[in-house]
Structure 1
Amino acid sequence: SARVREALARCPTVIVSDCVAHTDTTDLADILLPAAGWGEKDGTVTNSERRISRQRCFLPLPAEVKPDWWIMSSVAGKLGFGEAFNYKRPADIFREHAALSAHENNGERLFNLAGLANLSDAGYEALIPVQWPVLEGAGVETEGSTRLFADGRFVTDNQRARFVAIETRLAAQQTSDDYPMVVNTGRIRDQWHT
């Protein structure tokens, strides 16, 4: 942490956006932008099984708090990039994200949300959990792909799966009589080490 403090001390301006008032980083900020916490956020999250879910806030934003997208757009505007960050709502960002996933994507990249690139605001609000890829012309605009490679073809030059032999390594910390247990962190669907 000393190296991070030293690096931030060399920065002419340190802008921190956080939902916690006092952290080691916020204490070093020249500008502190209060961000929304988990229950105050509106947007989407994607989990490790490729499922995109709408995240809807269930708490109102505190007085000076702004959503992350609004903060980034405002900072970009002050830096002269406002036209590229001219978002009015989370749905605008999601549509751009979906369109970019499909840009020049001729099937070489599995991640593709082309079928959601023109989602209406109402469609975004009603979005139900869906697994990507969501291809254009798939019928229902939110119809995703529950199983990858069901057709037996993979995203490789010869469309065959590649298997790589690995050498088994023992865990860095082994159990012993003195330390008979190994602790593993827990994971739930919507949170990953946060």
Structure 2
Amino acid sequence: MWLLDFDGVINALSKRGGRSFWPDWRSATIDHPEGDRDRHGKPVKLPLLWSATVVETVAAAVDAGVAVQWLSTWREHTRQLPPILDGLPEIPWFDENVLAADAADGLDARERMVSGPWKVAVAKAAVPGDAALLWTEDALSVDMLSESWRKSRTAPTTFVRPHPAQGLIPRDVRVIREWIAQYAPHP
């Protein structure tokens, strides 16, 4: 299983992303998924910056039978991404709905749009204990909050934390492709 974040992982949170990393950067804008408007009443536009190579890697994982799941503050709005990011397959998402009611009620609603405890709780609830896990997440808080759980898992667990301004870079993609080669289901 691959838990995949969007902002800071696929979407580099910078204007250029660093030409030295990828020669195939692509960019676009998208209306804010929540319908936010600026002070003039116009839709807020969010910039998107991604590498076609990174998108191809996600598609290769899906094609290889890896259970790729969004674990992103974008939640259901990730459905808007495939038409914009050419080659990105439709991927299901995880959110607090996978949690038992009492666990979901214990989460701070103000942190819904912040990576942190909710992502860790969802990962613990949704990832089968015997499943090899690849988790790509840029938030240091998620890295720190999930570390003891990741180390206690008996199944292979790989955590890749890119710098948010760069997103996944070639070194990260090599790790991901090696993980796919080793853990994708073999027909």
The structure with the greater share of residues assigned to strand is 2
The structure with the greater share of residues assigned to helix is 2
Normalized against structure 2, the TM-score is what? 0.24
Query: Which gives a bigger RCO, structure 1 or 2 (Cα 8 Å, sep 6+)?
Result: 2
State the structure with more CA Rg.
1
